[in-house]
Copies of this chain bind each other. A is one copy, B any other.
Amino acid sequence: MNIRFYNARILTMEEGAGVTEGELWVKGNRIAPAGPPDGTVWDREIDARGNLLLPGFKNAHTHSGMTFLRSYADDQPLHDWLQECFPMEAKLRPGDVYDLTRLAIMEYLTSGITANFDMYMFPDEIAKAAADCGFRTVLCGCVNNFTYDLPFMEKCWDEYNRYDELVSFILGFHAEYTCSRELLEGMAALAHKYEAPVFTHNSETRLEVDGCLERWGMTPTAFLDSLGMFDYGGGGYHGVYLNDADLEIFRRRGLWMVTNPGSNVKLASGIAPLQKMLDAGVSLALGTDGPASNNCLDFFREMFLATGLQKLQEDDASAMPADRVLEMATVGGARAMGLSDCDTLAPGNCADLVMLDLHQPNMQPLNNIAKNVVYSGSKQNVKLTMVNGRILYEDGQFHIGADPEEIYRRCNEIIDAKR
């Protein structure tokens, strides 16, 4: 498909570029240089009516398959919450995660998210859900003492890095506190074998950091780094309790800190010191975490929280300006996930983009469009979400090869069967 957007406002997110007005051309699955008519036969020509095109948001940490636990065990202390969630996950049957992931993908599309970094069980079902919907997913390994093992990790590496152009796999494990030293050393060996980055939950709670200090005399970041885990990069999810020395390791190794403010708020985990990380030169990306803890998969909420909580924490309304948040949510996420050709709307990049409706009261007046997106934006503004050149969501309609009502029915059935 060749699609021409005209009368558009465009924020390519290329460094230094502001909002421009004009055309954006999509040829096949790629952004093409726009110019005077060149004889291209357009499958669709879309009058953007002055609406904003920008790169799709990248949800750089989530557990999509947990949709069945949305609003299942809220308003409970973390420990009670875990006690309710874990046994439910143990009841997942083959096929469940496929449908639960499709539900999450639908929600991503309503929020302008075009790719996710998904750490969950049943990678075969996640990969199939993404490929079937036309959604881009990066699977993250989630090995731990109880689930999966290193041979399985290598199998995933081989299988999902050649599964579909929309699917890839990155090495990962659940967390320091759920893995034996032997398992972690094995993971580090894999990182060396494949010369590949490794991602994991890192310093989400104070308890986790204290436990690691007690076990190994080091913070999770320092301990994992001492095993050679990050010799080829990677990163951490949450990072609420990273200290200055941890940040220096992140900076030196070029690790990504993926912040999850909605989940950290709702589970009362704390506020990750993003402004301090920015100042320390640490690379940032943004994620929703899973729908059991967040509970929604809404990048507009996440973006507001990413800046708002910093302003509170720093006692400074100028902390974490909106343009840095927008960068994390698009460019940062793409690069963290190894999707370096999905980061901006530069010609040649994948056509993963969103059109935001500026003809809505929350986007008016047009004093500063980028700030409007971060501070006032809402799912309601998402007119169109395109992944790899295909429009998967437009004006409230899903084009994912499945009936939404059937997916809702299946997801209710899945949770009802487990009560």
Contacts and interface: CB of A to CB of B under 8 A. Distances in A.
Interface of A: 67-72, 74-78, 81, 103-104, 106-107, 110, 262, 265-268, 270-271, 291, 294-298, 300-301, 304, 307-309, 311-312, 314-319, 321-322, 359-362, 364-369, 371-372, 375-380, 382, 404-405, 407-408, 411-412, 414-415
A365 B415 contact: yes
Contacts of A404: 359, 361
Contacts of A361: 103-104, 106-107, 110, 404, 407-408
Given A317-B76, A360-B110, A71 B265 contact: no
B318 A75 contact: yes
- Chain A interface mostly: helix
A362 B309 contact: no
Given A360-B110, A362-B297, A376 B71 contact: yes
Contacts of A362: 107, 110, 296-298, 379
B318 A412 contact: no
Return the 10 tightest CB-CB contacts between A and B, nearest first: A296-B376, A107-B361, A265-B308, A106-B361, A379-B380, A71-B371, A75-B321, A71-B368, A295-B375, A268-B311
Contacts of A415: 365, 367
A77 B266 contact: no
20 contacts: A70-B364, A70-B367, A71-B368, A72-B368, A74-B371, A74-B375, A75-B321, A75-B322, A81-B317, A110-B361, A110-B380, A265-B309, A266-B307, A267-B311, A295-B372, A296-B362, A301-B304, A364-B407, A367-B415, A378-B379
Contacts of A412: 364-366
A142 to B, nearest CB: 23
Given A71-B371, A81-B317, 14 more contacts: A70-B367, A70-B372, A71-B368, A71-B372, A71-B376, A75-B318, A104-B361, A106-B361, A262-B308, A265-B311, A295-B375, A362-B379, A365-B408, A380-B382
Contact of A379 (B68, B291, B309, B379): B379
Contact of A295 (B312, B366, B371): B371
A381 to B, nearest CB: 8
Contacts of A268: 311-312, 314-317, 319
A31 to B, nearest CB: 27
Contacts of A364: 67, 70, 103, 407-408, 411-412
Nearest to A370: B71
A119 B73 CA distance: 39
A372 B300 CA distance: 17
Contacts of A376: 70-71, 291, 294-296, 298
